[in-house]
């Protein structure tokens, strides 16, 4: 059997044991979207690795993961955000930057990525 989810080597899979259950639901819908659209599903950050390099409370609290968008077009990202908001948007955390509830954010910078987050 081929594994569907891929994880960067520094991602600690044992962190999933401490994940907020809502985050596992979000992870599942992300996987379904990737499968349905034949897109890669690469998780780049969970909690332990995130604590070392980030100060985001959602990562530290087991309420967030990051995913690569390599292989995604801008249209794929737009469709994913709409899909996730439709399916599990009510589970999203309130963003500190604008006080809006979101389950997924596309972060720019040197390494564009998707940041998935859920409320406590």
Domains contained in the chain, number: 1
Residue 1 lies in a domain: no
Q: For residues 81-119, b (16+ Cβ closer than 10 Å) or e, as one string?
A: bebbeebbbebbbeeeeeeeebbbbeeeeeeebbbbbbe
**For residue 49, what pLDDT band results from cuts at 50, 70 and 90?**
low
| pLDDT score of 58 | 76
| pLDDT score of 95 | 82
pTM of the shown model = 0.88
Task: Tell me which residue range forms the domain holding 21.
Answer: 6-117
Segment 59-81 shows an average pLDDT of 91
The answer on pLDDT for 98 being more than 70 is: yes
Residue 26 lies in a domain: yes
Residue 102 lies in a domain: yes
Cα–Cα distance list, 71 to 17, 19, 57, 74 (Å): 29, 27, 28, 10
**Cβ count near 35 (within 10 Å):** 11
């Amino acid at each position: 059997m081929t594994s569907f989810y891929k994880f960067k080597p520094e991602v600690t899979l044992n962190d999933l044991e401490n994940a907020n259950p809502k985050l596992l639901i979000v992870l599942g819908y992300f996987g379904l979207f990737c499968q349905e659209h034949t897109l890669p599903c690469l998780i780049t950050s969970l909690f332990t690795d995130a604590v070392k390099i980030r100060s985001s409370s959602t990562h530290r609290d087991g309420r967030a993961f990051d995913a690569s968008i390599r292989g995604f077009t801008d249209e794929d990202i737009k469709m994913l955000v709409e899909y996730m908001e439709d399916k599990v948007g009510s589970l999203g955390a309130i963003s500190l930057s604008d006080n809006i509830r979101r389950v997924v954010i596309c972060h720019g910078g040197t390494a564009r990525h998707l940041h998935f987050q859920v409320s406590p």
